[in-house]
Amino acid sequence: MEQLQSLLGVTGFYAGILGLLFVLLSVRVSQARQRLAIGISDGGNPEMTRVIRVHANFAEYGPMALILLAVIGINGASIWLLHVLGVALVAIRAEHA
């Protein structure tokens, strides 16, 4: 039971980091909306479309990746593997942003 808690703790750690990145992306969308004076949708502006899609892509794929990370941990993966996959997930999501 202690090992399971430790493995899920690793997933929680990366969920926290990704949560902060999600907040950062949300702020970027809000700032772009204010700067470009676009209240709803993308207003036909390519920059706004890009900012919205980066945020939406994160929202679409981030949770599933975290669920899969937790499932791998529950099924007996080593903590090191979870850290390698967690670091890769954060790096890839940050690079995409």
What is the reported pTM? Answer: 0.86
Q: What is the domain partition of the chain in residue ranges?
A: 2-96
Phi, then psi, of 53 in degrees rounded to 5: -70, -35
Structure tokens at 30: 């809000």
pLDDT tens for the chain, 97 residues long, are 677 677 778 999 999 999 999 999 999 999 999 999 999 999 999 999 999 999 999 999 999 999 999 999 888 888 999 999 999 999 999 998 7
- One-letter identity of residue 88: A
Q: Give the per-residue pLDDT at 66.
A: 93
Give the separation between CA 37 and CA 19, rounded to whole angstroms: 27
Q: Give the per-residue pLDDT at 9.
A: 86
Give the separation between CA 6 and CA 39, rounded to whole angstroms: 43
Q: Give the per-residue pLDDT at 8.
A: 77
DSSP state of 97: -
